[in-house]
Amino acid sequence: MKTILLILAVVLFTSATFPALKKQPKRNHVECYIDRFLKTAKQEAKLYNIPVSITLAQGIIESNAGRSSLARKHNNHFGVKYRGKGKYAVYADDTPRDKFQVYKSAWWSYRDHSKLLTSKHYRHLTKLKRSDYKRWAHGLKKCGYATAPKYAEILISVIEKYDLWIYDIPFFSR
């Protein structure tokens, strides 16, 4: 009996002294998505002057944090429509048979998204401060990035819910 009490005391002392040994709460799929693509979003921000928060929030929304069929099967994390080069996949979106770009990897999806947002149609947004995610969100909606009437508000909501805006502050974007 003394042995059992001694073992119990050691276990309780150890977990109280070393919190890392305690069972950590399970991270949800959105947090896992952020962890997985944060480094890529930061690299794209440096190269293309697109806020990390916008890139991650769009990826979360457009791919259901990587769980959509388009993201899982075709590595398209941003709902980018087919533009005439490479392979495409057909899904119902605005019409029953919309063509979406297929990518070799998620990285290529992130890179194409950056190139899309620096194309002539969206380029003026890159003149906005990277920390001004609200103006970016409204600018994307105004340019027609998505057809959802509340797209800007949805983006902003995701950014604020997961504190993605912090990665747009230069100190934290390293």
140-172 pLDDT per residue, tens:
999 999 989 999 999 999 999 999 999 999 765
pLDDT at 6: 45
- Over residues 53-69, the pLDDT tens digits come to 999 999 999 999 999 99
Q: Whole-model pTM?
A: 0.83
- Token pair, residue 83, equals 């533009």
pLDDT at 99: 97
Q: Is residue 25 very low, low, confident or very high in pLDDT (cuts 50, 70, 90)?
A: confident
CATH of 31-68+105-168, one of 1.10.530.10, 1.10.600.10, 3.90.79.10, 3.60.21.70: 1.10.530.10
Query: Domain-by-domain residue ranges, the chain?
Result: 31-68+105-168
Through-space distance between the first and last CA atoms of the chain, rounded to whole angstroms: 54
